[in-house]
Amino acid sequence: MADCEKRRTFAPENHQTNNPNTPSAMARIKSDSPLVPDSGTLDNIIYYNVNGVRYSRSKPAQYSPKTLKSPLRQRQMAIFAMVQAHLGLHRKTLNLTFDRVGMRLGTNIYSSLNGAHLTAALEPLVAEKIKKGHLPVSRIEEAITQYAAAHPGAICISQRSGCLPVYLNGSWPDTIVLQDAAGATLQVVPCSEVTAELRVDLTSTARK
């Protein structure tokens, strides 16, 4: 058996994806055994190569149309879509405020770390999301802002090596200040792209 280092894909609630497919475990292959292919598919395992490093993952299981229409699956898919919209808005910032771990970017670490809290924050919007199919990103941000204000210290927005963690205690800040253990400022990360994108979203929503 190949010596592997296992990793998990993003899961916003109890490590269950809201994608129509089940999550697949990803592993880095450390063995040089010729029995392990560089790429291709063997049984239900997919092998691939990234920058000379070999990885494997299991094939995601497909759900039937009947299963996809179940209330539980629709709820999971709605939360997944809203979390992805939230991540898209803050992608640049999060990739600067979290250390990259292997192939995992800041957005991956942020969503894994805060999955349960993001799910709880977006729960009130699930029924509307399922009914309408689309919600303005400003609505999603408002729900997360309200949750963060009611649960300060719950949603971590920065976790860098050598820096104090930073938490969301209301609306997303204009800047995120990274400080060392003594409180000295090491870096100021601007979040201007968030403000600009939200402004466009609010303007388009008001015109409808």
* pLDDT per position as a tens digit, 46-64: 766 776 677 777 766 665 6
CB-based contacts of 140: which residues, under 8 Å, 6+ apart? 82, 85, 86, 122, 125
CA gap 64, 69 in Å, rounded: 9
- Quote the pLDDT of residue 166: 94
- Quote the pLDDT of residue 10: 42
The DSSP-derived string for 72-101 is HHHHHHHHHHHHHHHHHHHHHHHHHHB--B
Average pLDDT of adjacent 10-residue blocks, the chain of 208 residues: 43 42 56 58 69 70 64 90 91 90 88 94 95 91 96 94 94 90 88 55 46
- Quote the pLDDT of residue 190: 86
- Quote the pLDDT of residue 5: 44
- Quote the pLDDT of residue 103: 80
Three-state SS for 2?
coil
* pLDDT per position as a tens digit, 178-196: 999 888 988 888 886 554 4
CB-based contacts of 18: which residues, under 8 Å, 6+ apart? 12, 76, 77, 78, 79, 80, 81, 83
Phi then psi for 44, rounded to 5 degrees? -105, 20
